[in-house]
Structure 1
Amino acid sequence: METKLIPSKNYLCYTTQTTLNKLHEFADQAVDGVYEAVAKGGLKAVGPMEFIYFDCSNDRDKEFTLEIALPVETGMEFKSEIHKIKKIENFKCLSHTHNGDLLNLPGIYQQLFEKVYKSGIKPTNQVREVYKSFSGMESNDNITEIQIGIN
């Protein structure tokens, strides 16, 4: 894991309350909706899709806030009741790149958080998954950067 400072960016976001157990029920549709909103709004994507988790824990039935977010260029008027453009400030994190099957992420998270806590670092309430390459949930071609927020 390496420490990174992710610079402030503008995102087109879909924000919802969900649980880890319910996430799969709507994620594909929500991601498609973000891409459609970008296209309809005449916006330009400037980075890969991100899932930004707030107050998420390993309790798969505990509700948390999720932002499905795509970095975009701003400067254009954008109106939507479902999607919002947000400026998200600098984000200091510990970063780990996972190559492969996304179904392995729970185990990866467990290992990462064990390392974080053993090192004495206290994580923030925010974790991000940056989908640098996505070919399907179980694809070995996926490249996902996991970013654990730190102070």
Structure 2
Amino acid sequence: MQTKTIQPIHVLYFETRTSFQEIFQYVRVEARKLYQDAVRNDLEITGPVYWVYQGADGRPDTVFTLTIALPVTPPSHTIDSPYQLKQLEAFECITEQLYGNWDGLINTYGSLFSEIMSQKLVMSGQSREIYLNMDFENPDRNITEVQIGILK
């Protein structure tokens, strides 16, 4: 567990309002479409997919903004895409990596929240999950970085 600053990242992204009850309709759907669209538009993919949660509180029915973002080099040409381009701003966070099944995310968030409380940090209202490795056949091989935004 560590505190760090994530520098701005240019992304191709999908954004919606959803809740944890409804979020599964986007799993393995929008990220795949983002990759396909990036390749079709000859965009250079520069990192793993990010899921950015703004205003999520962990409750199943709370509606929040979900951004699924794929880092890309800013294009020098116009793209033909249902998705948009933007820059994720610099992000102060406390972070921990989860090695294994996503069922462990609840424990990872729990340990991060405990650390936030013990250090008396103030949360920004945004959290991110970076999917460094996704193995749907062998979920114990997943590597996910969880980042919870903090105010400095």
Bin of the TM-score, shorter chain as denominator length: over 0.9
Q: Which residue of 1 aligns with 2:48?
A: 48
Structure 1: gaps of 5 or more residues: none
Q: How big is the alpha-carbon RMSD for the aligned residues of Structure 1 and Structure 2?
A: 1.4
Q: Is the 8 A contact 1:50 1:130 kept in 2?
A: yes
Q: Which residue of 2 aligns with 1:13?
A: 13
- 1:66/1:138 CA distance change after superposition, 3 Å: farther
Counterpart CA distance in 1 for 2:107 and 2:95 is 16
The yes-or-no answer on 1:103 pairing with 2:103 is yes
Structure 2: gaps of 5 or more residues: none
Question: 1:26-105 counterparts in 2 under 5 A?
Answer: 26-75=26-75, 76-80=77-81, 82-105=82-105
Percent identity at matched positions?
29
Q: Is the 8 A contact 1:101 1:137 kept in 2?
A: no
Determine helix, strand or coil for the equivalent of 2:27. helix
Determine helix, strand or coil for the equivalent of 1:126. strand
Q: Is the 8 A contact 2:98 2:104 kept in 1?
A: no
- 1:62/1:137 CA distance change after superposition, 3 Å: farther
Q: Give the Å deviation of 1:68.
A: 0.4
Q: Tell me the TM-score normalised to structure 1 length.
A: 0.93
Counterpart CA distance in 2 for 1:5 and 1:119 is 17
Which amino acid in 1 is paired with 2:32?
D
Q: Which residue of 2 aligns with 1:122?
A: 122
